[in-house]
């Protein structure tokens, strides 16, 4: 039996009909990554982490997604490392007692929390385009990056996040420009879940104002 082999057509005309462009990968849907940290002070280079909170929501801030919330026990912490204001605040809200009593809880130490948070961020970033959101977002991102870089490297966090951020401070500064006081109801407990809930509530209120203004303009 004689077998016939057909050679592929390699002429320029034939090759011109073949697309060499790979398919465009699907774009992950946009999500807000609400972030808040409680720390020993306001120095973004030296302040230690005491609590971390992150919540993924829809772009309207309403639709709940996954969350990561945990107290954190620094590897080393002297009482004099914490600012007097932060110490008073975290004594009043109970956070300092929780961190101080966690000496024998290996699951809340820096190395463990760093690894767990990094894995959580990577998983969320594989599904969504994550836009950091909250109050003074860059402070939170810098503290997290600086405090965990010993275990995760210098760019471990921002590598998985969008460069676009939603910082509620911009809205509040606009309120101040209009002679409003956006901080009058911001006492709170200074715990991460409470702060994130407050920020999401404020964001919803600002969105309502924007919708009213947009509808009025269209009308």
Rounded (10°) angle between helices 110-127 and 137-152: 110
- Catalogue the long-range contacts made by 7-10 (C-beta closer than 8 Å, 24 or more residues apart): none
**pLDDT for the residue 77:** 84
**pLDDT for the residue 26:** 72
How far apart CA 219 and CA 129 sit, in angstroms, is: 34
Strands 166-167 and 129-134: parallel
Do 89 and 115 meet the contact criterion of CB atoms below 8 Å apart?
A: no
Closest to 60 measured CA to CA, from 29, 106, 96, 17: 29
* Domain map (residue ranges) of the chain: 28-218
Rounded (10°) angle between helices 168-177 and 192-218: 60
| Pick among 3.30.750.24, 3.10.20.30, 3.30.420.10, 3.40.50.2000: CATH of 28-218 | 3.30.420.10
**pLDDT for the residue 55:** 98
**pLDDT for the residue 137:** 97
- pLDDT tens by residue, 31-86: 999 999 999 999 999 999 999 999 999 999 998 999 999 999 998 888 888 999 99
Q: How far is CA 15 from CA 48, 101, 124, 162, in A?
A: 61, 70, 41, 39
Phi, psi of 75 (to 5 degrees): -60, -40
Give the position of tokens 């039996």.
1
DSSP helix/strand/coil, 101: coil
Closest to 51 measured CA to CA, from 77, 75, 73: 73
**pLDDT for the residue 6:** 54
Both tokens of 183, joined, read 């901080």
**pLDDT for the residue 11:** 58
Q: Predicted confidence band at 118 (pLDDT cuts at 50, 70, 90)?
A: very high
- pLDDT tens by residue, 138-194: 999 999 999 999 999 999 999 999 999 999 999 999 999 999 999 988 888 999 999
- Give the pLDDT mean for 101-122: 92
Closest to 45 measured CA to CA, from 200, 166, 154: 154
Give the position of tokens 């972030």.
35
**pLDDT for the residue 12:** 55
Closest to 202 measured CA to CA, from 184, 177, 178, 179: 184
Higher pLDDT, 3 or 202: 202
Please check the confidence at residue 1 and state whether its pLDDT lies above 70. no
- pLDDT averaged over every residue in the chain: 90
């Amino acid at each position: 039996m004689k077998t016939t082999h057909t050679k592929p057509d390699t002429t320029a005309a034939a090759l011109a009909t073949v697309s060499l462009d790979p398919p465009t990968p699907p774009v992950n849907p946009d999500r807000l990554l609400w972030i808040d940290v409680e720390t020993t002070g306001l120095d973004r280079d030296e302040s230690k982490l005491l609590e971390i909170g992150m919540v993924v929501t829809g772009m309207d801030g309403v639709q709940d997604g996954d969350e990561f919330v945990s107290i954190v026990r620094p590897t080393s912490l002297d009482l004099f490392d914490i600012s007097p204001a932060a110490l008073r605040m975290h004594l009043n809200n109970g956070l300092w007692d929780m961190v101080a009593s966690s000496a024998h809880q290996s699951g809340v130490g820096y190395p463990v929390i760093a690894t767990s948070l990094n894995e959580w961020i990577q998983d969320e970033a594989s599904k969504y385009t994550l836009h950091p959101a909250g109050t003074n977002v860059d402070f939170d991102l810098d503290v997290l990056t600086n405090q965990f870089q010993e275990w995760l490297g210098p760019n471990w966090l921002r590598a998985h996040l969008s460069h676009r951020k939603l910082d509620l401070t911009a809205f509040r500064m606009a309120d101040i420009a209009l002679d409003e006081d956006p901080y009058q109801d911001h006492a709170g407990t200074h715990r991460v879940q409470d702060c994130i809930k407050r920020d999401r509530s404020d964001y919803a209120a600002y969105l309502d104002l924007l919708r009213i203004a947009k509808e009025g303009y269209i009308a």
